[in-house]
């Protein structure tokens, strides 16, 4: 039996109801049902409707299930960029999206600020030729975030035809995205949804769909099985193109129903309260300090701290208490820790973590 509480930034602690939903899934033999059966279609339709409710998703958006957010980077470029994309970069994951565009032969431009910084949106000018503008709502590697108010400014800054993409991989459902101001938003289930990994969710509006169809009509290759039109064809009958991760789709539906029952507002308030406690501790600590200087740009869900004792040592000290935080990302592996503050982490668990981190500092 493993009693550790995972504060790692995803995969992370499972949402508390997941073990019972998994038991029910096994009892109902969800792993055996056909992805072309009516039973699967009903599960799919129910998950989609729950996700729409939780995120207050407008009707012009589609909900597509793919294998990971990494896949979404590739599909986004293939389906929505003929020639040129523009990326805000302030960490490893926003950089990876930018590099993906280049690997796929596109002309990609980046507005890059140092790791761990937010953006001065007023100073950013989007090229007139940019077809896709990649915003990073929450940079999982550095703990920097873009408040929704900053995201919302890009519709006016960007060319009228440009599609605005929002990486909310490790923050949704926390940020109350204004879906009318953007065109696509995506997330991974192993972050704030507290599920095992293996599923990415891609929310795209009618403008993204239209662009993919235009490119296809022009004879451009937009991929094979996971083109936006193929995804839509199957989504319209509550199915996927390939045999998907049925079990995770089922579990996502159950967890989102639980979240709807709790209410997204309650989840958001609790996330903010826990984040405030963590940042207050970090600011008063002699060992840890918030890695993101500007409080406005500090993520509420993936909290990154500089540490004067190596991250591996921090985890060694936490181990006897059955707790684990994330190490820093890449070259910050030992000099930073990352603390996931997801809906799965209860206020009591967060308090307990803070207490133990305090005892380390003492």
Select from 187, 214, 209, 223 the least CA-distant residue to 301: 187
Residue 22 binds a second copy, judged by CB under 8 A:
yes
Residue 54 binds a second copy, judged by CB under 8 A:
no
Number of residues that bind a second copy (CB under 8 A): 56
β-strand pairing of 5-7 with 323-327: parallel
Nearer to a second copy among residue 20 and residue 294 (C-beta): 20
Side-chain-side CA neighbours of 308 within 13 Å: the count stands at 8
Residue 328 binds a second copy, judged by CB under 8 A:
no
In contact, 168 and 137? CB cutoff 8 Å: yes
Number of Cβ within a 10 Å radius of residue 225: 10
Please report how close the Cβ of residue 126 comes to a second copy at its closest, in angstroms.
23
Tokens of 212: 């993919």
Contact letters for a second copy, residues 233-272 (x by CB under 8 A): --------xxxxxxxx------------------------
Question: CA–CA separation, 258 vs 261, rounded Å?
Answer: 5
Question: CA–CA separation, 228 vs 303, rounded Å?
Answer: 34
Residue 117 binds a second copy, judged by CB under 8 A:
no
Question: CA–CA separation, 280 vs 227, rounded Å?
Answer: 45
Q: How many residues does the chain have?
A: 362
Q: Which stretch binds a second copy (CB under 8 A): 4-12, 131-139, 142-150, 303-311?
A: 4-12
Residue 330 binds a second copy, judged by CB under 8 A:
no
Tokens of 110: 């980046």
Tokens of 83: 């020639």
Question: CA–CA separation, 198 vs 10, rounded Å?
Answer: 12
Please report how close the Cβ of residue 28 comes to a second copy at its closest, in angstroms.
5
Residue 224 binds a second copy, judged by CB under 8 A:
yes
Nearer to a second copy among residue 99 and residue 351 (C-beta): 99
List the one residue from 44, 61, 64, 73 that touches a second copy (CB under 8 A): 73
Question: CA–CA separation, 284 vs 64, rounded Å?
Answer: 43
φ/ψ of residue 201, rounded to 5? -120, 125
Contact letters for a second copy, residues 84-103 (x by CB under 8 A): ---------------xx--x
Contact letters for a second copy, residues 186-205 (x by CB under 8 A): --x-x----xxxxx------
Residue 223 binds a second copy, judged by CB under 8 A:
yes
Residue 26 binds a second copy, judged by CB under 8 A:
yes
Chain residues that interact with a second copy, rule: CB under 8 A = 1-2, 4, 6, 8, 10-14, 18-19, 22, 26-35, 67-71, 73-74, 77, 99-100, 103-105, 188, 190, 195-199, 221, 223-225, 241-248, 326
């Amino acid at each position: 039996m493993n009693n550790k509480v995972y504060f790692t930034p995803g995969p992370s602690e499972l949402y508390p109801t997941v073990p019972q939903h998994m038991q029910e899934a096994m009892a109902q033999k969800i792993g055996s049902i056909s992805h072309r059966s009516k039973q699967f279609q009903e599960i799919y339709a129910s998950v989609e409707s729950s996700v729409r409710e939780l995120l207050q998703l407008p009707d012009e958006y589609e909900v597509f299930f793919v294998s990971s957010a990494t896949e979404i980077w590739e599909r986004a470029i293939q389906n929505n960029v003929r020639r040129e994309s523009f990326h805000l970069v302030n960490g490893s994951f926003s950089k990876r999206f930018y590099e993906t565009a280049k690997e796929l032969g596109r002309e990609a431009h980046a507005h890059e600020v140092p790791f761990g910084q937010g953006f001065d949106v007023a100073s950013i000018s989007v090229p007139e030729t940019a077809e896709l503008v990649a915003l990073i709502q929450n940079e999982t590697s550095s703990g920097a975030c873009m408040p929704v108010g900053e995201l919302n400014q890009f519709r006016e800054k960007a060319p009228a035809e440009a599609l605005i993409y929002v990486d909310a991989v490790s923050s949704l459902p926390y940020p109350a995205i204004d879906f009318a101001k953007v065109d696509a938003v995506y997330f991974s289930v192993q972050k704030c949804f507290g599920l095992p990994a293996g599923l990415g969710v891609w929310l795209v509006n009618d403008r993204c769909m239209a662009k993919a169809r235009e490119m296809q009509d022009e004879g451009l290759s937009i991929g094979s099985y996971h083109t936006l039109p193929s995804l839509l064809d199957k989504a319209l009958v509550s199915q996927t193109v390939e045999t998907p991760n049925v079990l995770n789709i089922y579990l996502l539906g159950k967890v989102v129903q639980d979240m709807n029952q709790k209410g997204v507002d309650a989840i958001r308030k609790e996330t903010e309260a826990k984040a405030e406690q963590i940042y207050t501790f970090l600011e008063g600590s002699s060992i840890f300090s918030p890695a993101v200087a500007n409080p406005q740009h500090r993520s509420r869900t993936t909290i990154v701290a500089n540490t004067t004792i190596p991250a591996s040592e921090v985890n060694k000290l936490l181990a006897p208490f059955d707790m684990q935080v994330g190490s820093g990302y890449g070259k910050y592996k030992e000099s930073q820790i990352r603390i996931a503050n997801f809906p799965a982490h209860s206020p009591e668990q967060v308090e307990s973590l803070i207490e133990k981190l305090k005892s380390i500092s003492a």
